[in-house]
Amino acid sequence: MTDEFTVKIEGFATPGCGIARIDGQVVFVEGACPEDVVKIKITKKNKSYANAKVVEIIEPSPHRVKPFCSMQKVCGACQLQFIDYDYQLELKRRIVQDAMKNIGGLDIVVKDVIKSPEILEYRHKIQYPVSQTKVSKRILAGYYKTGSHELVNIKHCPIQPKICDEIIDFVREKAYEFGVSGYNEKKHSGDLRHVIIRNSAYKGDNLVVLVVNSNEVNKNIKKLAESVYENFSEVSGVCVNFNTKKTNVIQGNVSKCVAGKDFVVEKILGKSFKIGANTFFQVNPKSAENIFKYVKDYISSNFKNPVVLDAYAGITVFGICVSDVCEKVVSVEENTQSCKMAENCLKENGIANVEINNMDAGEFFQKENRKFDAIILDPPRKGCSKESLNNALRLSKGKIIYVSCNPATLARDLKYLTEKGAKVESIQPFDMFCHTYHVESVAVVSLT
């Protein structure tokens, strides 16, 4: 454990680690890039692999660059920022390719990753945990260090719009002034747990959400919310979200608008969407638009007036975006608030051929007997249950379009589908989360 070794990095693995070998054993090296020659120190070892950190870079990889953010090494949010962007894309393609081979047992060539239209100021949803120093009682807001719950106070983040830095800094200052305390995770005490900002890439306005350790809006939180709204013309509204649970879940189920509007408007493929305090929506809308266009183009090119199922639909962005090339879209989403917002979106966009079902996707699958020309699956990171996959096979006339943010669960689920006789036509990755190891993929599965 105290020995140092000089190694050449020969591969790459999530979460953002280089791969080396010492006497045949795999070593995962934090902060290393393929083709680096580095001196490393072992930090953890077991029978099958070891973890290590870089002590010295002896020969840097040709793909290694200087991070554009001074906080990159301590923040933990942008694991790949020290690697040039084009090579980041290649590494992400390999992550998906390796998952398909090693987990899915699939012999398929993964396409090149479609890059994000923006790689700076691309992140339009910001979620900052909040804490407070013991002595000075200064309010801190930022991201956690890698593998810890030690908060890094972030003053400037280049991957989010600049206005978000200004709003967060104002919240820190005014929270202290108004006597709003930061959250203490160990003691489960304090007022303000998180500050969330949803910035509209379409209009540039912002919805600010203050997540509080309470079931009501106390006078100090109210003053803070009103002050943020009054001091920023770019803020369309401020909501308070209530979360008293002793958990790592960021938001509770209930939010209250304290000032202004309770939404911002985003636009995707010419369609308008209202994004509220508890609404799931992609953090990188311009890259997300590439995904929606890819799916829409596939449906338009391969079907004439199809009936399409949009499962795990959220506010039914997929369904709404593809609706004008479909005879009908049937949407399924268990979150009631998301369904209500979807219904409002349909009215505002003048769309009459989308049916909203407010229920769990698994329950819907079990009771449904209609057949669909294509089924769009966009599940959370854990992927689909076997029951849902079986029912998707039962209800689809021929195509399943599987959208995934987790290559491992995508590979697992594709393996299951192929074991049932399906064939994977293509896998197209997209860079939704620039400078991180995360990658979004769209897999097209044929049942005939």
pLDDT for 13 equals 87
Q: Cα angle vertex 126, ends 291, 261, to 5°? A: 95
What Cα–Cα distance (Å) separates residue 251 from each residue in 27, 128, 413? 37, 12, 29
Residues 170 and 253 in one domain: yes
Residues 56 and 105 in one domain: no
pLDDT for 2 equals 62
DSSP letters spanning 191-245:
SEEEEEEEE-TTT--EEEEEEESSSS--HHHHHHHHHHHHH-TTEEEEEEEE--S
Q: What is the pLDDT of residues 247-265, one digit of tens each?
A: 989 999 999 999 999 999 9
Upper half-sphere CA count for residue 352 (Cβ side, 13 Å): 0
Residues 386 and 264 in one domain: no
In a domain, 274, yes or no: no
Residue 412 near residue 388, CB atoms below 8 Å: no
Last residue of a domain, which of 204, 238, 268? 268
Could you tell me the residue range of the domain that residue 439 belongs to?
90-117+284-446
pLDDT for 77 equals 84
Q: Identify the three-state secondary structure at position 330.
A: strand
In a domain, 396, yes or no: yes
Residues 32 and 97 in one domain: no
Number of domain units in the chain: 3
For residue 19, give both structure tokens.
Answer: 């791969």
The CATH number linked to 188 is 2.40.50.1070
Residues 329 and 441 in one domain: yes
- Provide the pairing of β-strand 206-212 with 192-199: antiparallel
In a domain, 244, yes or no: yes
Across the chain, which has 448 residues, the per-10-residue mean pLDDT values are 86 88 92 95 90 94 95 86 96 96 96 98 96 93 84 94 97 97 95 98 97 97 98 98 94 95 95 90 95 97 96 92 97 90 93 95 89 95 93 94 97 97 97 96 94
CA nearest 10: which of 101, 91, 100, 113? 91
Residues 296 and 440 in one domain: yes
In a domain, 193, yes or no: yes
Residues 129 and 108 in one domain: no
Last residue of a domain, which of 268, 297, 320? 268
Residues 95 and 131 in one domain: no
d(CA 200, CA 58): 44
Residue 88 near residue 122, CB atoms below 8 Å: no
Bridge partner list, 49: 26
Q: What is the mean pLDDT of the chain?
A: 94
pLDDT for 279 equals 85
Residues 34 and 58 in one domain: yes
In a domain, 83, yes or no: no
Its pTM stands at 0.92
pLDDT for 16 equals 78
What are the residue numbers of the active site?
Answer: 405
Residues 181 and 237 in one domain: yes
In a domain, 415, yes or no: yes
Residues 297 and 440 in one domain: yes
